[in-house]
Structure 1
């Protein structure tokens, strides 16, 4: 059997923890056994230990994955060489990532059992909020965005997206996740962008943008 390289192993770790997103987002992880986790990952318990040393190691990988996605989007959001409409799409991607990876029950479990990971996540969150407020204020100053309260925009994303990634809510409303996100982003950009920027070609293919986000997060 071919021995996997460290890079291949790291890639597989990320792939396997993505399989846990839904169950951890909805149920948390404190009640999950290693056997439960292995089953959700489609691995035997013995195979799981080829990639992870412990349950905490698995949670650490998931937390790092979440933080990396948010930080990756944050680099684009802070890049003033990129237009505001394109960066607004990255703000949306970052908000969807947070809704998918960081549910209240997951954060509560993290705070209870892995305080150092929780503190790392909260520090990342603090930096994320600061960058978002700066982005919105600068966009308003540049007269690309309407004059709105950045804190309200952040809370709005957290509230709406937290609801939209809830499969029970989607089923009740007879919505697909993709369509719900497309419709919300259309509402969001109409609310934020001044009319002259709404006609930009950079905003045309919203369906492709949302599909790209969902593929990256491995939730379609």
Structure 2
């Protein structure tokens, strides 16, 4: 077998762990064997060991993938050169992907079996919340956002988006994930943005934002 270059190996590690997201966010990982993980990745057990040294190595890569995304999103949210409505979209995107990458089931297993990774994820989450709180407060001071409780806005996103991506709700309501995200964001922007800033947004722009989220989830 040919030798895998470090950059290619890292890219393939990320690609393979993404295939585990649905299983791990809904079922956790404590009961998964290396063979289960290899099967979900469509790899043989021997091939899996070309990319990962152990089950914990797999979980570490998945945790780092989540943290890397949060760090990337935080840079956009904190960028004062970008308009608030655009950065609000990034807050929304971050909340959707956090609901997918960091479900309660996954975090519970991480806390039990990999406390060092759980602590790393917890610290990343703490920094994320601080960034979002500052963003909302500054947007209110700038007169772009309505005067609202930032903590409630964050909890609301966690509750609603967690239900949308981690439960049979969409099937029961005969609704696509795309439509659910569009409808929820329409409600969120009306709640957060002052009327004059809502009017400045184009529907095509919102559609593109949701399509981008769905592409990442796929």
1:80 maps to 2:80: yes
Aligned residue for 1:55? 55
Distance 1:42 1:62, change over 3 A: same
Aligned residue for 2:109? 109
Greater Cα shift, 162-171 or 79-88: 162-171
What does residue range 160-171 of structure 1 map to in structure 2 within 5 Å? 160-171=160-171
Distance 1:19 1:147 in 2: 41
* Unmatched runs of 5 consecutive residues or more in structure 1: none
Q: Report the RMSD for the aligned CA atoms in angstroms.
A: 1.2
Distance 1:202 1:64 in 2: 34
Aligned residue for 2:35? 35
Distance 1:188 1:10 in 2: 37
1:22 maps to 2:13: no
Aligned residues: 218
Distance 1:202 1:2 in 2: 50
Distance 1:84 1:187 in 2: 17
1:46 Cα deviation after fit: 0.7
Distance 2:204 2:42 in 1: 39
What does residue range 80-159 of structure 1 map to in structure 2 within 5 Å? 80-159=80-159
CA displacement 1:118-148 (0-9 Å, x = unmatched): 0000000100111111000000000000000
2:14–2:61 contact (8 Å) kept in structure 1: yes
Local SS of the residue matching 1:165: helix
Distance 2:131 2:19 in 1: 30
2:100–2:166 contact (8 Å) kept in structure 1: no
1:85–1:202 contact (8 Å) kept in structure 2: no
CA displacement 1:146-186 (0-9 Å, x = unmatched): 00000000000000000010252211111111111111111
Distance 2:43 2:170 in 1: 29
Local SS of the residue matching 2:168: helix
Distance 1:101 1:57 in 2: 17
TM-score, structure 1 length as denominator? Answer: 0.96
Distance 1:201 1:152 in 2: 24
1:176 maps to 2:176: yes
Distance 2:125 2:151 in 1: 14
Greater Cα shift, 7-16 or 171-180: 171-180
1:215 Cα deviation after fit: 1.2
1:211 Cα deviation after fit: 1.1
Aligned residue for 2:214? 214
